[in-house]
Structure 1
């Protein structure tokens, strides 16, 4: 696997680390459990990082030096792809011939590296885009900068050269075919998974029943005490990178439209602009809702699951999502999700079953939807039960088995070429 701009070992929720980190690591874990040996190439970001790290059985992470360790974000990395590719080829040169069976790249930067490596080693190239520049540019948040032409050209090249393309949803597959002229026969839909043993409802074991209202209330009070959250306030959680694409500003503005605003808890760090969190807090001040906003840094998934369980609703107001792992993980804990009706969120969130899809990003619309749900505890309980059932559609073992089939199909395509 190649993941140039972000390591699967990094904490998601700040900088360039997000759902892709979770995807690469959890898919690798599931593949390893099925007997596939996985080696992940990523860029070194600290001098103290070991060049090779056996992360866990069956998974090895290789840190490649390419450019300075600090101070680069993904927009600076196209100029380092030559150095990164050289490092990958150099590392492989120490292996016996035919060491790798497939190259699976993530995001277009990695696809550029994998394109050359797969040609050099004569193995199939499988690529997962995660986000598409043309789709992203068509749904920009107000004030957000469009993706550059260089990225669009790079994505087109990777699409043309890949033996297989992996889309998370049918919508993404259609975007690849319609927007990038991908060969439909090479596009495979493999939904990401959720760790259903970690993300469980409060008071329930893995795949156990959703507890009743009384038990849920008691567990929630205990969790809030442990997490230093107010026990009697209604809480809406936003978990993710603080950037315009993810839309946390929509929620802050919505608070200003509500008669009885809940507490908006943001778990995330700045992404893109280092001042993003301060800008969000300034917006809350300007809107007059400072006392209703709490921002905390991102947390490991073992803690994140308790936050999901402790709140009343999880909000995902993104302007674009290829899948929406946060929504899927939140639903697995039995917490309803209010999400924008965009991209993969329309697949992950079953409107009226596991949560509510919001048709636009108008603060007044979000204020109305959130207010109605927060005022209706029985409806939230029904949606919570549906949320867990909905999340059980997604499992990493299923995703890994489907991915192995994609790898085998890509090998046949490669042989035919």
Structure 2
């Protein structure tokens, strides 16, 4: 911690970077992630793409001299108050409510305690310690709104998911988001100086559903760690047509998967919203029509129960048994990022039949490893996946439609290679450096406008 403080003071002594138009990048940002810690394993509980997003964005912001302190709720009593995640990135654990067994739906009652913890940390610093607040998800937005007002700095907010959008596309039997969340989101949208949307589609939803001021909404695509998620082959580059199949063969050998198998992979949180059941039903339809494929079909489901899926953690296993496909489905627990990259490489395709996705980060991660994606045409997935080029987009959630696409991969083994090579090239434009640079530009604009507003108010 001492090293971190000395580095902070050294960096604070540096002149702030001036940008075109006289703007200055903020030196230090308070990033808020109330309901999920950037230190948690993605694919478990409420941890998913947002965790990856916060970790990667914070690291890349620090690399361009924007210090980041991430405030998150402490989930065990053994956690140290602060953890240095990377040079220039500090995670602060805030005590708010019981450490374990608190569902996301119960967190609104802990926002006062969390806000108190954030204010306590701030009180130990000189005035002006944070130049900006960046909150993630609506719960953090409420804390961010209060903190930004108290500190006299702008609030930048990222929704990640929206209640009105989720409720408009609920999976059968899934629980709708409560009215309190809708009201809370509306208040945060109104309070934020800037809103960051993952795609132009999400920007339109903010404006249409939440009456966001179009001038406050900025589109910044999330990125992917291209050093980790990559085609892993001895070939010189993505242009070599042999790179993808070689990478896939090596990954299958490491994971114990048959080399000639058709491997449609599901990787993510097990909950109705992500629709892994659609994949299982599609596999059942495919095998009914094509029983000859059973001997060369392996369907890995990599992830853990989450959200409303926690109520019936064995639901998917029971469905596989009912459909008579237990022999082809491999259930695997969530894995770390490096092993996840190997699962992506090993797969013939990634299947994402989600009912709602603000972006669908795993779609880009899979494509970066040379694996095509079969996805529902929802949310940000049409941006992440180029239909008929890097994978297929399906309208709706009819298992027969997914089964038809799976059959195409079964009948043409070179399809996964061709689409995979195009997918790997497509993913190259989604580096985190680009995302961090775009986010820093949003910060700069928010700080400039906030200062202008303060000056005119006091003028």
TM-score where L is the length of structure 2: 0.88
The separation in 1 between residues aligned to 2:93 and 2:240, in whole angstroms, is: 44
Are the equivalent residues in 1 in contact too, given 2:238–2:424 (CA < 8 A)? no
Please tell me whether residue 252 in structure 1 is matched to residue 280 in structure 2: yes
Counterpart position of 1:241:
269
Counterpart position of 1:225:
253
Please tell me whether residue 13 in structure 1 is matched to residue 43 in structure 2: yes
| CA RMSD between the two structures | 1.4
Please tell me whether residue 157 in structure 1 is matched to residue 187 in structure 2: yes
- 1:276 is displaced (CA, Å) by 4.2
Q: Which of 334, 354, 357 is matched with 1:321 structurally? A: 357
Please give the residue correspondences for 1:26-65 in structure 2 after superposition, counting only pairs within 5 Å. 26-65=56-95
Please tell me whether residue 94 in structure 1 is matched to residue 130 in structure 2: no
Farther off after superposition, 406-415 or 138-147: 406-415
The separation in 1 between residues aligned to 2:436 and 2:370, in whole angstroms, is: 24
The separation in 1 between residues aligned to 2:310 and 2:406, in whole angstroms, is: 29
Counterpart position of 2:399:
363
Please give the residue correspondences for 1:354-393 in structure 2 after superposition, counting only pairs within 5 Å. 354-393=390-429
Q: Which of 86, 89, 96 is matched with 1:66 structurally? A: 96
Instruction: Report Cα offsets for 1:93-112 as digits up to 9, x if no partner.
Output: 00111000010000000000
Instruction: Report Cα offsets for 1:329-359 as digits up to 9, x if no partner.
Output: 0000111111110000011000011111011
The separation in 2 between residues aligned to 1:245 and 1:274, in whole angstroms, is: 12
TM-score where L is the length of structure 1: 0.97
Gaps of at least 5 residues in structure 2 are 1-30, 455-459
The separation in 2 between residues aligned to 1:222 and 1:382, in whole angstroms, is: 18
Please tell me whether residue 183 in structure 1 is matched to residue 213 in structure 2: yes
The aligned length equals 415
- 1:204 is displaced (CA, Å) by 5.5
- 1:217 is displaced (CA, Å) by 4.0
Q: Which of 209, 224, 227 is matched with 2:238 structurally? A: 209
The separation in 2 between residues aligned to 1:393 and 1:221, in whole angstroms, is: 26
Counterpart position of 1:268:
303
Q: Which of 300, 319, 325 is matched with 1:283 structurally? A: 319
- 1:287 is displaced (CA, Å) by 0.9
- 1:277 is displaced (CA, Å) by 4.2
Are the equivalent residues in 1 in contact too, given 2:73–2:95 (CA < 8 A)? yes
Larger Rg: 2
Counterpart position of 2:147:
117
Are the equivalent residues in 2 in contact too, given 1:31–1:37 (CA < 8 A)? yes
- 1:43 is displaced (CA, Å) by 0.1
Are the equivalent residues in 2 in contact too, given 1:349–1:355 (CA < 8 A)? yes
The separation in 2 between residues aligned to 1:46 and 1:150, in whole angstroms, is: 27
Gaps of at least 5 residues in structure 1 are none
